[in-house]
């Protein structure tokens, strides 16, 4: 079992790597004109963010990789976790690079994203299915009940992985929102992996993600000096699903990651409502933009979503203990 001291040291190392790399890497992004292209159909107040350096998620990925590899033995779980984070981050990097190169707000085509995400989700799901004897035994939060999903494990996990990664990606729409929410979610998984299921490699990986998110917030909180881009948001989504899948706790994601869930559901409901009735449920989706359109300052939306995530994390801790 890892102690709080070891996990704190791990987070500090990752935090320092981001803090050191930020002032070096961000000017490089600006120099090479790797700037954000804000969508015209988004909030008009966000158009002022056009040109803000993006792809800053690379800093977080580097910090997590270095910290994970130096603070723990490279076990199979650690390797798969790093592949999940780096792999989804690479898909996001391709998306960002195409946006910048083509000077447009859309990068990879939908089918290209799905193929790459499908392959990575299949790899992670298959690994856990063949290596963890209890993989198919899914524990229901707040109860002692266990659901045995048997041979359906791989397709169900793939659906959860792809859905969660894209939900985290949707959450990255305001300064500091995705990085702050994921910091809190990762803190929960750090405690869960370190103290409950006792998977030290995943606890280390979660601690590294906590430190990376905290360091990045220094550059990404309002007004953001850099955006994480799809590079960062998809890497963070990969981190969350890696923690959950490798600790066999995927049913906790809708609870501790309730904000991710709300963001994704708001988009799904908005699209369905408009296609069926030509009416919109929200003023704008994802839901963080709805609150902006209601007159909330960006900082108020972000802070409120952080507080909600802290409450959900506490409830999640209660549910697993």
Residue-wise DSSP of 14-38: HHHHHHHHHHHHHHHHHHTT-B---
User: Under 8 Å CB-to-CB from 53, ≥6 apart: which residues?
Assistant: 26, 29, 30, 34, 35, 36, 225, 226, 227
What pLDDT, on a 0 to 100 scale, did the predictor assign at position 194? 92
Mean per-residue pLDDT, 76-92: 97
Pair type for strands 137-139 and 146-148: antiparallel
What pLDDT, on a 0 to 100 scale, did the predictor assign at position 39? 59
| SS3 call for 100 | helix
What pLDDT, on a 0 to 100 scale, did the predictor assign at position 45? 60
Structure tokens at 168: 């985290």
The answer on whether 41 is annotated among ligand-binding residues is no
Q: Please tell me whether the peptide bond between 24 and the residue prior to it is cis, using omega within 30 degrees of 0.
A: no
pLDDT in tens, 174-195: 999 999 999 999 999 999 999 8
Q: How far is Cα 206 from Cα 189, in angstroms, rounded to an integer? A: 6
Confidence of residue 227 (pLDDT cuts 50, 70, 90): very high
For residue 116, which phi and psi values (nearest 5 degrees)? -65, -45
Does residue 215 carry a pLDDT above 90? yes
The answer on whether 230 is annotated among ligand-binding residues is yes
Does residue 42 carry a pLDDT above 70? no
Mean per-residue pLDDT, 204-212: 97
What pLDDT, on a 0 to 100 scale, did the predictor assign at position 135? 92
Instruction: Confirm if 127 and 200 have CB atoms less than 8 A apart.
Output: no
The domain ranges of the chain are 4-250
Per the prediction, the chain carries an average pLDDT of 92
| SS3 call for 139 | strand
Instruction: Confirm if 28 and 53 have CB atoms less than 8 A apart.
Output: no
Place of tokens 């299949």: 122
What pLDDT, on a 0 to 100 scale, did the predictor assign at position 279? 92
- pTM, whole model, 2 decimals? 0.94
Q: How far is Cα 200 from Cα 244, in angstroms, rounded to an integer? A: 14
What pLDDT, on a 0 to 100 scale, did the predictor assign at position 37? 63
What pLDDT, on a 0 to 100 scale, did the predictor assign at position 144? 80
The Cα-based distances of 39 to 140, 228, 300 in angstroms read 40, 16, 22
What pLDDT, on a 0 to 100 scale, did the predictor assign at position 38? 60
Confidence of residue 40 (pLDDT cuts 50, 70, 90): low
């Amino acid at each position: 079992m890892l102690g709080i001291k070891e996990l704190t040291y791990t987070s500090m190392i990752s935090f320092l790597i981001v803090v050191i790399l930020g002032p070096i890497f961000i000017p490089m992004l600006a120099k090479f004109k790797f700037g954000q292209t804000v969508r015209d159909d988004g909030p008009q107040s966000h158009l002022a963010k056009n040109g803000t350096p993006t792809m800053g998620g690379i800093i977080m990925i580097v910090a997590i990789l270095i910290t994970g590899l130096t603070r723990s033995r490279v076990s199979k779980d650690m390797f798969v976790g790093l592949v999940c984070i780096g792999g989804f981050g690479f898909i996001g990097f391709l998306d960002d690079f195409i946006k910048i190169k083509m000077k447009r707000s859309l990068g990879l085509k939908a089918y290209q994203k799905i193929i790459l995400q499908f392959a990575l989700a299949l790899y992670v799901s298959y690994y856990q299915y063949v290596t963890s004897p209890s993989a198919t035994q899914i524990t229901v939060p707040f109860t002692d009940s266990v659901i045995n999903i048997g041979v359906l494990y791989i397709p169900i996990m793939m659906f959860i992985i792809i859905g969660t990664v894209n939900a985290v990606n949707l959450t990255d729409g305001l300064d500091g929102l995705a990085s702050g929410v994921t910091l809190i979610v990762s803190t929960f998984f750090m405690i869960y992996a370190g103290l409950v299921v006792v998977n030290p490699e995943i606890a280390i990986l979660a601690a590294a993600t906590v430190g990376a998110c905290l360091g990045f917030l220094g550059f990404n909180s309002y007004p953001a000096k850099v955006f994480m881009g799809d590079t960062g948001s998809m890497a963070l989504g990969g981190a969350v699903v890696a923690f959950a899948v490798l600790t066999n706790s995927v049913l906790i994601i809708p609870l501790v990651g309730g904000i991710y869930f709300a963001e994704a559901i708001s988009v799904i409901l908005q699209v369905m409502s408009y296609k069926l009735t030509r009416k919109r449920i929200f003023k704008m989706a994802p839901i963080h933009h709805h609150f902006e359109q209601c007159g909330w300052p960006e900082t108020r939306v972000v802070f409120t979503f952080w507080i909600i995530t802290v409450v959900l994390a506490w409830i999640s801790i209660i549910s697993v203990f």
